[in-house]
Structure 1
């Protein structure tokens, strides 16, 4: 910044920093930006879509992993049975 109060040259790093300081945030909170406000919409009760608890997601994930492991074992046993 210039000492006499004049604006820095337009393309300089000081001008960019001054513009970033003056920029208003989109959110209502002081520290939250526009992106944080949009991300919070996914976690509200008003969000559209299927609402399932984290426990259900965990159980379904473990069940899927177990199902794939069983398919691998069945596939190996099937190959052993056809070669004999």
Structure 2
């Protein structure tokens, strides 16, 4: 192993190295300063805005797709009846 290189993946040394990492190090986390932190800031409980569960988002998306599909079918039937 060369000097300064990371240990082999899956080895005991790599596991120990991961355990030693500091998760609250300045600059790398969500509180690291800068313009807006990281993307993880959007997924915390402290994020501003409306809190909607993923199930509600999925149901609303499927409902919107169904609504647009129904409008397309109604439009086709309306124009087919008008031409006849």
Same fold by TM-score greater than 0.5: yes
RMSD between aligned residues: 2.5
Q: What is the match of residue 74 of structure 1? A: 74
Equivalent runs, 1:2-81 vs 2, <5 Å = 26-27=27-28, 38-81=38-81
Aligned residues: 56
Partner-residue secondary structure (3-state), 1:81: helix
What is the CA distance between 1:74 and its match in structure 2?
Answer: 0.2
- TM-score normalised by structure 1 residue count: 0.58
Write 1 or 2 for the structure with the bigger share of helix: 1
Unaligned runs of 5+ in 1: 1-24, 29-33
Runs of 4 or more off by more than 4 Å in structure 1?
none
In structure 1, distance between residues paired with 2:39 and 2:69: 35
Structure index of larger Rg: 1
Unaligned runs of 5+ in 2: 1-25
What is the CA distance between 1:76 and its match in structure 2?
Answer: 0.3
